[in-house]
Structure 1
Amino acid sequence: MRLMSVVLLFILAFFYSINGFAYDESKPSYTPIVSINNKVNQLLIQSESTPTHTELMLKENPIDFQKLNPAEQYLYLMILANIAKIKGQHNEVITYLLEAQELEPIINEDQLSQLSFLNLYKKLARSYAKTGQFKKAYDANHAYITKYDVFMKSERDKYIFELEDKYETKRKKDINTLLNNQTELKALEIDESLHNEVLQRRNIYIISFLVFIFLLLLLRLLSMNKRIHELSKEDMLTGVRNRKTLFRYGKSAIKRCIENKVGLCLLAVNIDGFKGLNEIHGDYIGDEVLKRFALLGTESMRTRDIFARLEDATFIVVLPEASEDEAKAIAQHLKEKVAAFNFDYVGIHQQLDISVSIVELSESLNNFELLLNTAMNVLYEMRDGDNNQIKIYQQ
């Protein structure tokens, strides 16, 4: 029996030794902690407060990136990220931080748990949030909180170890055990608090994101509705008021002027020879001429005036609180402005002229339709006779 026991112990020891060697061979290689150049540490601290000054220092005294060890390269990339951040280049920040993150497998884990290295995830979360990548921002922030929790636990363990090492007597060890238990209890409370905080943050991020999407869609909808409403008022080609808006605004302006007992003039403006010009040069050039004329007309008007396109090359101008002399001055200004404009850029090497008829609000001409019809009749008479003139309707 004794001999069998010895043999059994020998066999167990043999298998244990084989398993132990197999385990040792499967162990990953140890990555040592490397020293950090003091210059890199100083530049990192400086880049947090004065990144612009740090950038100037690097230009004057550049650092050879290839000569740095992996940990120094990691911190150097964080310096570059801080410089890019102050310029608002958040995509560049993300690129630098992700390059640094790729170095983590060849850096000691204890070294990576230091605050100067952990801050990478906080910076990454902020830059993702600035570029609208909220899911990645949440993941990076979650990684930071998790790693920071590990760091705090490590610091606490170091503190406890130092206490145990300092006090050697059994009595003091018992006190340290009691403190350790209290610390662990507090750590559990902190862990629970951090966990609740993470959950709260996650819920806040989700709610904020949903609110943001809702507001974005609401603003988009309001913007589209506003644009549709504005487009319904505009002439599709020239961008000035269209016929429908002209009648609505014109009637309103006349009613207001009659109530306030102030004057009003209506101008009918036509581009002379536009039909022939359009036939010679084509619709595209004709459209460009109309667009440019509309722009020149808008620039010539007062803020309260209504400038609209009625049809083809005919435009209507409603001038509230304007006498015949003031209306004629505005018409003359528009005429000179069109005549002086160079249309060479669209292939028209001739001066464009306009004809303008002016009708003033009166007791007999006291509504928009009468004013418009009268102005158009005067304009038609000018087409049959001499163009390129300004004519005031005389009752």
Structure 2
Amino acid sequence: MMFISRIIMSFLFIPLILSCFFSICQADESVNVSTEVKATISKNKALNLPVIKILPINTDLLTLMAKLKETTTNSHKIQLAVAQLTLSKTPLNAAEQYLLLVAQALLKINSMGKNIDSANIVTLLQPVDKLSKQISEQQLAQPEFLQLHLLLADHYARQKQYEPAYLEKKAYLNKYYIYRKNKRLAMIASLEQSFEVNDKKASNALLESQNKLKIRRVAEVQGEKVAQQYNITLIIFTAIVFVLLFFQQLRIRNTLLRLTRTDDLTGLPNRSALFGWGEKMVLSFASHPTELSVLLMDLDHFKKINDNFGHQIGDQILMTMSQLIKETMRSRDVFSRLGGEEFVALLPFADSNKAKAIAMHINNKISQYDFSALMLQSKVTISIGVATMNDNKMSFDDLLHRADLAMYQAKEQGRDKVVYYQDIV
């Protein structure tokens, strides 16, 4: 019995001896996975083989695998790197999960020292079987992936499970054979490519001499084309000048049109633009009845401000007030300067309640603003008249007149008021 067990043990340890030999070869021939991927793809292209899908590998994971092979490593840094990859929010593909399990196993082996729990290591590596089905055979034959079989064989042997240890060794040798075969094919493809390059260089030299002859012939033809190109260039240049002059005139015209419809002081639409927008909205109301309201705003005691502080201060107050009111306007509203200290806001799709709410918001915003930086008194107020269109036969002048009457009623009530036209009828 002793003799038979020794024979069995010797047969089982033959793969272990072979694995040591191939591990040494592997250390010399191991290359970065990304480099092997490129070599495999170029080999397949050169030999007209179908391109195998190779899953990309995170560079941090490859760096971690390389550090785990070193004899002297900083275990704390490696543990931190493994934890970061394990808890990474970026989803890992099957190949990355495969290598991460191998890295975790190597880290656990290094941390255990001599008291290695082989059963725990084998259990940790069990999920690799399912992951292997999602990875191509060529990628599994890469050195980084082959470590798994060596680890399992070693720890199966430590548990005296010699049959699975032998099968892992056998799987390692089969895949290592595939790896060596792929390396040879890649080398053949590289040599064929180098021969093709030499042929191309010879062809290029021949083409270069032919091109020199063609250049001489072309030079004669180019002399005739120069005059023709000059004439074409002159025509194009003249056309460009005319186009630029046209666009410049068009820009000036548009600027003048904009200035005729814009208030110089505040930059708001002026009286002319206001009536254009107003008549358009009233016509739209007549064909498609919707809510349309108008706010007419007048700055209180503006003449006294000009008399006491000067017209320059008055202009600055008008600009400040127009900016404050503009901030309260909706994107579809039209806010313009009617003239002097009067401003008008057109509020489409706004009924009486909504229009009064906007007017009250404007009134409070102006009365609460601190104007002390411009003049001695800090408070400026406005009176606002509100009118809503409720008859499709009404003109814009009628609607604006109603808002004007409501505004004057606000003045009569002591200023700094908001008055709705329907409340005074």
- TM-score, with structure 2 as normaliser: 0.46
Structure of greater Rg: 2
- TM-score, with structure 1 as normaliser: 0.49
